[in-house]
Amino acid sequence: MSHQTIIVLDFGGQYNQLIARRVRECGVYCEVKPYTTPLAELKKINPIGFIFTGGPNSVYLEDAPKADAEIFELGIPVLGICYGCQLMAHTLGGRVVAAQDDAAREYGRTETFYDTGCPLFKGLPEKGVSWMSHGDYMEKVPEGFALAAHSKACPNVAIADVKRGFYGVQYHPEVNHTENGVRMIRNFLYEVCGAVGDWTMEDYRRTAVEDIRRKVGGGRVLLALSGGVDSSVCAALLAEAVGQQLTCVFVDHGLMRKNEGDEVEAAFAPWAMNFVRVDAGERFLGKLAGVTEPERKRKIIGEEFIRVFEEEAGKIGAVDFLAQGTIYPDVIESGAGNAAVIKSHHNVGGLPDYVDFKEIIEPLRLLFKDEVRQLGRELGLPEYLVSRQPFPGPGLAIRVIGDITREKLDILREADAIFREEAARAGEDKNLSQYFAVLTNLRSVGVMGDGRTYDYAVALRGVTTSDFMTADWARIPYEVLDAVSVRIVNEVPHINRVLYDITSKPPATVEFE
């Protein structure tokens, strides 16, 4: 695929993926590369600009991460962010030192003043809030650089060598806390690098289909379809590209949410592809009978999935290509060129030994999650699949606390469906990163009608998060929780109590088990 490309050179910053997402949101393709990437490899990409990320180190230390100084001789614009800014200053003859007093160190929200004559701040207000995080200080800026922004504590919040296209900011424009931060990145892309904005999902779809057809030729492709966003979009893209040459094996382990297996099957009915749904619910329930320990549940389900997939793959016969829904964060986090190997074991739980394939196809490996969803819409997948929330591989098995039975699964499916229906009706589903019901192993006394009951308590969980590394419990309005509670106890047999989990992560996890 041929696009204008920005290289995000990663120096260990916590926001490296966020920077890349911001660039792509501006309609420009980018790739994240470790700072150790040889310059020759970077030059082959023919980038229109570089962005240096932040990082936890100090540039003046002997073992600090460095970029090849020749980057600054290529005639290509560079934007340095935080550590990246200080690295540029250090490399080009400036001086960076440890801040000697608290005034020179800046963390968090900082009132900042911008020189709007600088291309980086063109068309922006002269004052705004930026998000700082630095304990080092640029005591001397390199020759040729002008000061382009300042705060009360720091005269060189941003520096610019307009002639050479080098810009540095000591704050993080990629985070939401920085006012107009994305507009600053956009200015760098379009005003400095000359971007034309040729990164769209329509174009990606067209070129991806062409690439798949060229690679596959007359071969056969096998995909393990989980029903999750990544594998579903991967299936739709492959189906458009090669049609009947694709076989999707959907292992329905009987641990999905209400109607979910049927919805997955219906979603792919319009495509000319081989869709194999394996109804293995009884088989999985048999293996899980009497098992209460969460990790053991996970291992049983993972191993059994492999066995079912192996059996179905064996029935299909010779396969040339194995397809996987690897996405770009997986590639970045692997930190190496062997992401395909890592994901081959992650996505299908281990490859069947006797499936003979030439190579792995990963048509989504350039996309972030939000871009995968965009592509799904472009391909015509229904919104309930495209916007599907994260759902654990073991499914409801880890949302039924204790042993698993068909009765418990049915109870949970109904309660969970009500929670999702009411959240969507109130528009709260758009505010929640993940939300679901859990059938606890707690039974308690209740009163329904004129009689006493002794039935299960169901717990509701809702969180908000940007990265799922940490998460806050969601402040769902009381009236929504009330509607959910009333419906569950009235419509779902064997539940007489509804709880709401108000624990953040940490100390809790998003899931219960």
* Residues annotated as part of the active site: 82, 172, 174
Alpha helices in 68-200 (DSSP H): 83-91, 181-187
Coil, strand, or helix at residue 446?
strand
Of 48, 93, 31, the C-alpha closest to 188 is 48
Q: Give bridge partners of residue 129 from the DSSP assignment.
A: 111
CA–CA distance, 43 with 350 (Å, rounded to integer): 36
Residue 246 contacts residue 218 (beta carbons within 8 Å): no
Of 211, 265, 271, the C-alpha closest to 245 is 271
Cis peptide before 477 (omega within 30 of 0): no
CA–CA distance, 313 with 292 (Å, rounded to integer): 31
What lies within 8 Å, CB to CB, of 104 at 6+ separation is 137, 153, 154
CA–CA distance, 432 with 463 (Å, rounded to integer): 6
CA–CA distance, 2 with 198 (Å, rounded to integer): 9
Coil, strand, or helix at residue 122?
coil
CA–CA distance, 5 with 20 (Å, rounded to integer): 11
Cis peptide before 77 (omega within 30 of 0): no
Q: Give bridge partners of residue 109 from the DSSP assignment.
A: 131
Largest Cα–Cα separation, the chain = 86
Residue 346 contacts residue 307 (beta carbons within 8 Å): no
Residue 212 contacts residue 242 (beta carbons within 8 Å): yes
Alpha helices in 8-120 (DSSP H): 16-25, 39-44, 83-91
**In the block, residue with structure tokens 């890349």:** 20
Of 174, 166, 132, 164, the C-alpha closest to 150 is 132
User: Which strands sit side by side in the sheet containing 146-151, from one edge to the other?
Assistant: 29-34, 5-10, 49-52, 78-81, 166-169, 158-161, 146-151, 106-114, 127-134
**In the block, residue with structure tokens 């992560």:** 505
List C-alpha distances in Å: 444 to 370, 392, 410, 456: 42, 28, 19, 7
What lies within 8 Å, CB to CB, of 477 at 6+ separation is 426, 428
Coil, strand, or helix at residue 328?
helix
Residue 255 contacts residue 280 (beta carbons within 8 Å): no
